[in-house]
């Protein structure tokens, strides 16, 4: 239960007296567990590291309150006014924020596991690295919120408004993502079912942005083709990492193909987005078929093939040699040599051809 002295100071002497007491007693973590603070005016209150387990703060005014590191697990905060409040690093597990206003609030590194945020306003809130597993965000407003490396495992995002959201490095195992609203409140409603592609789809809705999207992707993307046996995949992975270091966006088709496209269609789609293609034809099988689907139809995408020096080029390569996009095959002794030669012998000729094609 709450410490009566702490509760008396907070409720009856006011926030100024409370904050003065906190400054005079910096080593005391206030005990307000299960306190009845419903509809209290606590705006600007210093509640850092306070014990507020199962406290009733429903409809309380906590504007700009400092709750950093506080324990609010199982607290009742439905309808609370938490605009610009600092809840960073707080334990908010199981807390009820239904309909609360958390616009501009700091929730970075907070534990919101199993919390109820249905209908809550989180416009511009910072949820970076927050633990949000099994939380209920259904119908919440997440417009312009920051979700960087946040854990959304088994979280319910059904019906959230995510216009302008910043979503990077999310954990989304078992997350419900149905009917995410990606448009502004003044625009006709458009929904998607994947928070990480929401911004891309929104840009596609605005035709004037499509050119910028295409130019950005095709200025960096490099498609890597090759065999995925254990030995060959190691080379492809090393190639991918080296290209990343050189500020490219390497795409290696080692993921499950989209349900709506077969493998050749997927490879061709990825090639259409690429600045150039690097094809490792060592032990080539499916790669030759993939090239046959790419080369004739994409004359403006340079193809730079590579092969182990101990192997012979496939006979069917005569089909490609008269194509201006098909560059001389580079032979390499091993992975180490390939990476050493990558800049001068693979990337440079591909980049020269890109510039030739683009004038």
At how many degrees (to 10) do helices 198-205 and 207-218 cross? 130
Angle at 46 between CA 40 and CA 50, to 5 degrees: 85
Token match 């995949």: residue? 233
Q: Among 254-268, 298-312, 343-357, which is the least confidently predicted range? A: 254-268
What is the pLDDT averaged over residues 178-205?
Answer: 87
Identify the structural domains of the chain with CATH numbers, from first to last: 1-205 (2.160.20), 214-358 (3.40.50.2300)
73 Cβ partners below 8 Å, 6+ apart? 53, 54, 91, 92, 93, 94, 95, 111
CA distances from 356 to 123, 204, 301, 306, 350 (A): 47, 29, 11, 21, 10
Residue 260's pLDDT band (boundaries 50, 70, 90)? low
What is the pLDDT averaged over residues 177-198?
Answer: 90
> Among 226, 212, 231, which Cα is nearest to 277's?
226
pLDDT at 235 over 70: yes
What is the pLDDT averaged over residues 105-130?
Answer: 96
pLDDT at 124 over 90: yes
Element (H or E) spanning 308, and its range?
strand 303-308
Sheet holding 330-332, edge to edge: 249-252, 221-225, 276-280, 303-308, 330-332
Q: Among 17-31, 42-56, 101-115, 318-332, which is the least confidently predicted range? A: 318-332
pLDDT by residue (tens digit) across 300-326?
Answer: 999 999 999 999 887 777 777 788 899
Residue 258's pLDDT band (boundaries 50, 70, 90)? low
What is the per-residue pLDDT for 265? 85
What is the pLDDT averaged over residues 286-296?
Answer: 86
DSSP 350: H
At how many degrees (to 10) do helices 286-294 and 263-272 cross? 50
Percent of the chain with pLDDT over 70: 98
What is the average pLDDT score of the chain?
91
What is the pLDDT averaged over residues 63-81?
Answer: 97
């Amino acid at each position: 239960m709450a410490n009566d002295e702490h509760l008396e100071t907070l409720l009856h002497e006011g926030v100024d007296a409370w904050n003065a007491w906190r400054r005079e007693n910096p080593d005391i973590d206030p005990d307000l567990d299960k306190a009845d603070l419903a509809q209290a005016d606590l705006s600007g209150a210093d509640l850092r590291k306070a014990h507020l387990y199962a406290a009733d703060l429903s409809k309380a005014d906590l504007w700009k309150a400092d709750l950093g590191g506080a324990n609010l697990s199982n607290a009742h905060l439905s309808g609370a006014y938490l605009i610009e409040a600092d809840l960073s690093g707080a334990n908010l597990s199981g807390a009820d924020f239904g309909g609360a206003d958390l616009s501009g609030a700091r929730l970075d590194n907070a534990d919101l596991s199993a919390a109820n945020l249905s209908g809550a306003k989180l416009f511009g809130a910072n949820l970076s690295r927050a633990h949000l597993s099994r939380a209920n965000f259904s119908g919440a407003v997440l417009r312009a919120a920051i979700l960087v490396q946040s854990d959304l495992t088994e979280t319910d995002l059904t019906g959230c408004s995510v216009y302008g959201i910043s979503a990077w490095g999310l954990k989304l195992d078992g997350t419900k993502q149905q009917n995410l609203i990606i448009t502004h409140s003044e625009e006709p409603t458009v929904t998607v079912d994947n928070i990480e592609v929401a911004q891309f789809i929104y840009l596609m809705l605005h035709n004037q942005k499509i050119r910028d999207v295409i130019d950005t992707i095709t200025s960096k993307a490099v498609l890597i083709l090759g065999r995925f046996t254990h030995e060959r995949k190691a080379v492809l992975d090393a190639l991918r990492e080296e290209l990343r270091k050189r500020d490219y966006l390497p795409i290696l088709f080692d993921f499950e193909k989209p349900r709506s496209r077969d493998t050749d269609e997927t490879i061709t789609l990825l090639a259409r987005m690429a600045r150039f293609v690097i094809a490792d034809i060592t032990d080539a099988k499916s790669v030759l078929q993939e090239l046959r689907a790419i080369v004739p139809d994409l004359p403006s995408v340079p193809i730079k093939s590579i092969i182990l020096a101990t192997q012979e080029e496939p006979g069917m390569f005569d089909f490609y040699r008269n194509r201006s996009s098909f560059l001389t095959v580079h032979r390499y002794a091993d992975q180490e040599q390939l990476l050493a030669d990558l800049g001068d012998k693979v990337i440079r000729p591909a980049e020269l051809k890109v510039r030739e094609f683009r004038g």
